[in-house]
Structure 1
Amino acid sequence: MSALFPKTGTAVSLAEVRTHNTSLRNLAPGLVAIFVGGTSGISLYTAREFARNTTSPIIYLIGRNETEATRITQELKTINTGSTISFIKKDVSLLKKVDEACQEIKEKEKKVNLLFMTIGTMTLKGRNETPEGLDQKFALHYYSRMRFIQNLAPLLTTAAKDDDPKATLSRVVSVYDPFLGKNKKPNFADLSLKKNFSLGACAAHASAMQNFTLERFARLYPQTSFIHEQPGAVETGLAKRWAMKPLYVLMKPLLVEKKESGERHLFASTAPQYAPKAKAGEEGVVVGADGVKGSGHYHLTWSGGADGDGKVAEELRKDGAEEKIWTHTEEVYKKVCEEGGKY
């Protein structure tokens, strides 16, 4: 089970998590949080804790299930009667729908304090191409997530520059797995895996490409911190699928309980030790993904342990992996989002 519970960094105790989360009530009212994939699983568990521990939060849930969103909206309003909850119905496996969701938010908000993303799909099928020419799984795990960041980075920066120091939270959390691709070299001749697709390659590419792109964002937007987190084994909406039920029954003793998962993800989303690059010198800041203290980009385990650089990642960095990956990503965005074409 080492892949589910990687042993790296220093775990954060649940008591410390809960003490910190309770202190969030001292932050300014009206923090804005966006949960992409917020109608089920880890995003839902985290949205609950965000609503429970903050004052008059403004919460956006982005997903496809309007029925669940209506129920969850009422639940969150019950948890915190001062909260404002909005649902944006979009299939964000399509980049154009990502742009539409972001535009809706930009029309209503001047700042974003937290962008929290868990979108993905579990499938044993091979390449499943969307109308935009990308594999659906790969789009959700990489291209769509990075497009959300690119679109909303100005609003995250605005939040970081708030005149009220109690309102300057600015963070991106992508829940996937930084360790899958940390020591694997992507196929730079076919980054989108149009010709060489396999589920294993897709998982490794999505992980490695997130790692380097988040590192780029941390440098470009030094007042926002960027976290790529491995969630451990958590019961999500997948457990309701008949094919997955036997697996979840067998794994139940190893699962992180839903509330604890939400609490730990709220900690990752707000704790000061995962500070942006601009605050690297503050006390208690941990080592970033590139091995530099307070680099603004962090690889975290499910229990909050931060992991530094790996040998392969270091070699790839020296070989210009970040620029190669971002050049490809921009090509995809230009073809699909700007030209309205198919990659």
Structure 2
Amino acid sequence: MPSIAAIQTSNASYAPPYLPVAIFFGGTSGIGRATAEAFAKHTEGNAHIVIVGRNAGAARELLDSLPKPSSIASGWKHEFVDGGDAALVANVHALVPRLPSRVNFLVMTAGYFSLAGRNDTSEGLDSKMALTYYSRAALVMGLLPALRNAAAQGEAASVLSVLGAGHGHKVDLDDLGLEKGFTGMKSMDACATYTDLFYEELSAQNPTIAFTHTFPGFVDTPLFNTSSAGTPWTVRLAGPLIKLAVMGFAKSMPDAGETQLYAVLPPAATPGRVLRRGSDGEELKAEPAYGSGCNDASRRVLEHTEKVFQATKPQ
């Protein structure tokens, strides 16, 4: 397990000979924002940073706070792209053409915590599952050409989903999407396992791209802030109690950002492998990835996911 000091040292050593392009999906608050801030700090702002979200005000405040290079010669750029409601996969399909054609790092944190019952979007997907799995998967799939473009030029190409590595369970391959047996806890476990299996398929097809799934652990984020706009009522109700219970060992936002940045940067992110990391940046064993290594399971999850993509693409 790397110490936070070792993680910061590793991040500080990242000095590519090219202008890196990083997209933060869900980067206006929480862990996504903290990771974007860490990336900007270690690159001294000398990067093309794209913050994707819905809150333009929060994005502008973040972008204004990031370090700026003294020279414009490098072509650096820090921008906000309004992704609309990310619980609608169709919006992600529409988002992809507005993003850079070369991408080195894709960091995805969009989502929320809830143990409530199923809440379907207009696309027939549970809103939480849509945010934490289907929309993220659609973004990865849509940006594969941009990631391959970076890899073909000898640059880093790395994908990170901050979710629930090591906390999945065996999934019912005959009920993918949980249309028959939905519970809040089951949906959380399913999205973690779907992510592992989806990445296994993509990694096999794209050996020059690194795919990483992490579990952030308890982090002092606005997730449990009862005044946060858009926070589900179940979280607002339980938030103060949960925060009180974990505040003694919750990771600070800056440390969480450094840890997630470590996971997506080389050398920790390794092309040709699906890496799963815990809350302290440690690599997890393969055993907890239920279904991992089972070609039929990963294939069926990919096929199910592609069917959702087809159903949500504009005709």
Q: CA deviation at 1:81?
A: 5.9
Of 198-207 and 119-128, the range deviating more from structure 2: 119-128
Say whether 1:258 aligns with 2:253: yes
Choose the corresponding residue for 2:208, options 204, 213, 223: 223
Task: Give 1:36-51 correspondences, 5 Å limit.
Answer: 36-51=25-40
Number of the residue aligned with 1:128: 119
Choose the corresponding residue for 2:47, options 48, 57, 61: 57
Distance 1:133 1:208 in 2: 20
Q: CA deviation at 1:319?
A: 6.2
CA contact (8 A) 1:32 1:59 kept: yes
Task: Give 1:86-101 correspondences, 5 Å limit.
Answer: 86-89=79-82, 90-101=84-95
CA contact (8 A) 2:63 2:78 kept: yes
**Residue deviations 1:181-224, cap 9 Å, x none?**
1xx22112211112211011101110111110011111111111
Number of the residue aligned with 1:145: 136
Number of the residue aligned with 2:219: 234
Distance 1:275 1:329 in 2: 24
Distance 1:251 1:79 in 2: 35
Distance 2:174 2:210 in 1: 30
Say whether 1:176 aligns with 2:163: yes
Q: In the alignment, residue 118 of structure 1 is paired with which amino acid?
A: T
Distance 1:276 1:161 in 2: 12
CA contact (8 A) 1:21 1:267 kept: yes
Q: CA deviation at 1:65?
A: 1.1
Say whether 1:309 aligns with 2:298: no
Mark the CA change 1:223 to 1:33 in structure 2 (over 3 Å): closer, same or farther: same
Number of the residue aligned with 1:299: 276
Choose the corresponding residue for 2:301, options 325, 331, 338: 325
Alignment: residue pair count: 299
Q: In the alignment, residue 169 of structure 1 is paired with which amino acid?
A: A
Distance 1:116 1:130 in 2: 24
Task: Give 1:61-76 correspondences, 5 Å limit.
Answer: 61-76=51-66
Q: In the alignment, residue 251 of structure 1 is paired with which amino acid?
A: V
Say whether 1:185 aligns with 2:178: no
Q: In the alignment, residue 188 of structure 2 is paired with which amino acid?
A: A
Choose the corresponding residue for 2:240, options 245, 248, 254: 245
Distance 2:65 2:5 in 1: 25
Q: CA deviation at 1:79?
A: 5.8
**Residue deviations 1:237-281, cap 9 Å, x none?**
21322531332133111111111111111111113143102xxxx
Mark the CA change 1:30 to 1:328 in structure 2 (over 3 Å): closer, same or farther: same
Question: 5+ residue gaps in structure 1?
Answer: 1-10, 278-295
Distance 1:21 1:264 in 2: 9
Mark the CA change 1:246 to 1:311 in structure 2 (over 3 Å): closer, same or farther: closer
Distance 1:190 1:318 in 2: 17
Of 262-271 and 37-46, the range deviating more from structure 2: 262-271
Distance 1:111 1:266 in 2: 19
Extract structure 1 runs of 4+ deviating beyond 6 A.
none
**Residue deviations 1:164-192, cap 9 Å, x none?**
x5xx11100000012121xx221122111
Distance 1:311 1:235 in 2: 26
Question: 5+ residue gaps in structure 2?
Answer: 227-235
Choose the corresponding residue for 2:98, options 91, 100, 104: 104
Q: In the alignment, residue 304 of structure 1 is paired with which amino acid?
A: G
Q: CA deviation at 1:80?
A: 5.3
**Residue deviations 1:111-163, cap 9 Å, x none?**
1000000111222421111011100000111111111110001111111121x
Number of the residue aligned with 1:115: 106
SS of corresponding position for 2:194: helix
SS of corresponding position for 1:129: coil
TM-score (norm 2): 0.90
Number of the residue aligned with 2:9: 19
SS of corresponding position for 2:312: helix
Distance 1:171 1:264 in 2: 15
CA contact (8 A) 2:167 2:288 kept: no
Q: In the alignment, residue 156 of structure 2 is paired with which amino acid?
A: L
Choose the corresponding residue for 2:23, options 14, 34, 45: 34
Q: In the alignment, residue 33 of structure 2 is paired with which amino acid?
A: L
